Amino acid sequence: MKQIIGASCIFLCDERFSILENGGLLIECDPRSQHNKILKIQDFKSLTQSYPELQASFYTDSVLLPALSNAHIHFEFSNNRSHLLYGDFPSWLSSVITHRDDLMTELSQSIQREIKLQLASGVASVGAISSYGYDISPLIHSPLKVTLFNEAIGSNPEALDFLYGNLLERFEECRQYSSARFKPALAIHSPYSTHYVLARKIAHLAKHEGVRLSCHFLESKEEKQWLYHQNGWFKEFFSHFFGVHQAKPSMNALEFLDLLQDTSPLFVHCLFADDEILDRIAKLCGFVACAPRSNRLLNGRYLDLDKLRYFDLHPIFSTDGLSSNHSLNLIEEIRSAFFGYASLDAMQLAQDLILGITRFPALALGNPNGEIGEGKDADLAIFECEGIESSRQKPLHFVLHAHTHVTQLYINGQGEQTWKL
Ligand code: MCF
Ligand code: FE
């Protein structure tokens, strides 16, 4: 089936941030095989003249752009409202250890609610960090395109075989459902919480299986102190919560990066990464994702985007989980970020924010969407945005005025009314 979709304005989300006014897309999709793609990009009028027999929809006062990708989200923490403490990383991490079991009870409704919110807010693709495996089934049965990062965590040398076995079980479960819509992947929680030997096994598995790899990295000043100087708050943390006195990190930051060679990992947060680390990440062909509101709540700072640009790294913006956010709406996330980065050029920042929820997360997740181009998947979002037609600063006005819920979302060329929710 072929159809034409158009809008007052199309953000192609290519490298130059091209914008097509009164643009149209010819898309094709086969609902049975899921085969779909964008065939042609032109102005709406001439497309409808060339194909008068096709169904055509035009959205006025709206922006059509690639469906969004939320590359870092924890669905399993969707029960949190006020259990976890904010303001500094040690308080937050201690509260997670204390409350994580309570947070994992009666989870399914909250996970469903947040899956629906992703779709309603224009997200077609997610990079879901799965700590326990409770999100696997709800995500398999959702219309989302999922990269499911099975997470490994644990620093006790005696528990490593058990932890690796548990990880393999979850990974195997995911592999049975592997499809163009559901991709099993791996996560090393972080170098402070995952033993070197376990991290090495996960990195090896990711390479061997050719799957995406994600890790939280240099999120807090306490992590930096621990990895670089083997002291500070983490020493107390391991003693207090795990009874390990005189604990030592099993690796430093550079040894961790060495493990990840040839995996093009997705590094999440990197708030305390210095030039040496960013240079290494760029050389590893890694990606950097941040979660601005999570970073505000846990660490009181934002990722330095100028520094990232210096190393030719393009920021990815994500929501993290309700463990460190008040809402998982990705449009609201970039709107907050826009006001957080008060000193950056407003137009440049608006473009970076939009590319950071479309083009770059799609590259990091290895999905053929995130850009409107011929041959790309027909994953598209249409947002009403009053005043966009006459705007002379369209990306900026989109960040400010786009409705926080989509008018229509196409996944593999199919609109909302065809999904089974
Ligand atoms: O990204 C945020 C903050 N940094 C680290 N971890 C998490 C975040 N949100 C949820 N988490 C999870 C993580 O995946 O919390 C646990 C892990 O399972 C923390 S370590 C007990
Ligand atoms: Fe996270």
Predicted confidence at residue 421, as pLDDT, reads 66
Q: Are 316 and 289 in contact (CB under 8 A)?
A: yes
What global pTM score does this model have? 0.98
Going from N- to C-terminal start, the domains of the chain cover 2-67+371-417, 70-365
Question: Which residue has the CA at smallest separation from atom 21 of ligand 1?
Answer: 97
The second-level CATH assignment, the architecture, of 2-67+371-417 is Roll (2.30)
CA of 203 to the centre of ligand 2 (A): 19
| pLDDT averages per 10-residue partition of the chain, 421 residues | 98 98 97 94 98 98 98 98 98 98 98 98 98 98 98 98 98 97 98 98 98 99 98 98 97 98 98 98 98 99 98 98 98 98 98 99 98 98 98 98 98 84 66
CA distance 382 to 384: 7
Predicted confidence at residue 162, as pLDDT, reads 98
Residue 421's alpha-carbon distances to 32, 34, 133, 166, 167, in angstroms, are 17, 17, 21, 30, 29
CA of 98 to the centre of ligand 2 (A): 17
Relative to the alpha carbon of 151, which ligand is closest?
1
Does the domain at 70-365 match CATH 3.20.20.140? Answer given as yes
Sheet holding 145-152, edge to edge: 68-73, 123-130, 145-152, 182-188, 213-217, 266-269, 287-290, 315-317
Q: Token match 């086969």: residue?
A: 30
Predicted confidence at residue 418, as pLDDT, reads 74
Question: Which residue has the CA at smallest separation from atom 10 of ligand 1?
Answer: 323
Give 411's strand partners. Answer: 414
DSSP 377: -
Predicted confidence at residue 419, as pLDDT, reads 72
Question: Which residue has the CA at smallest separation from atom 3 of ligand 1?
Answer: 324
Question: Which residue has the CA at smallest separation from atom 1 of ligand 1?
Answer: 320
CA of 309 to the centre of ligand 2 (A): 23
Residue ranges lining ligand 1, Cβ < 6 Å: 74, 77, 96-97, 129, 131, 151, 153, 189, 193, 216, 219, 294, 298, 320-321, 323-324
Predicted confidence at residue 420, as pLDDT, reads 63
Atom index in ligand 1 nearest the CA of residue 219 equals 4
CB atoms within 10 A of CB 139: 22
Relative to the alpha carbon of 241, which ligand is closest?
1
Residue 289's alpha-carbon distances to 101, 247, 295, in angstroms, are 27, 29, 11
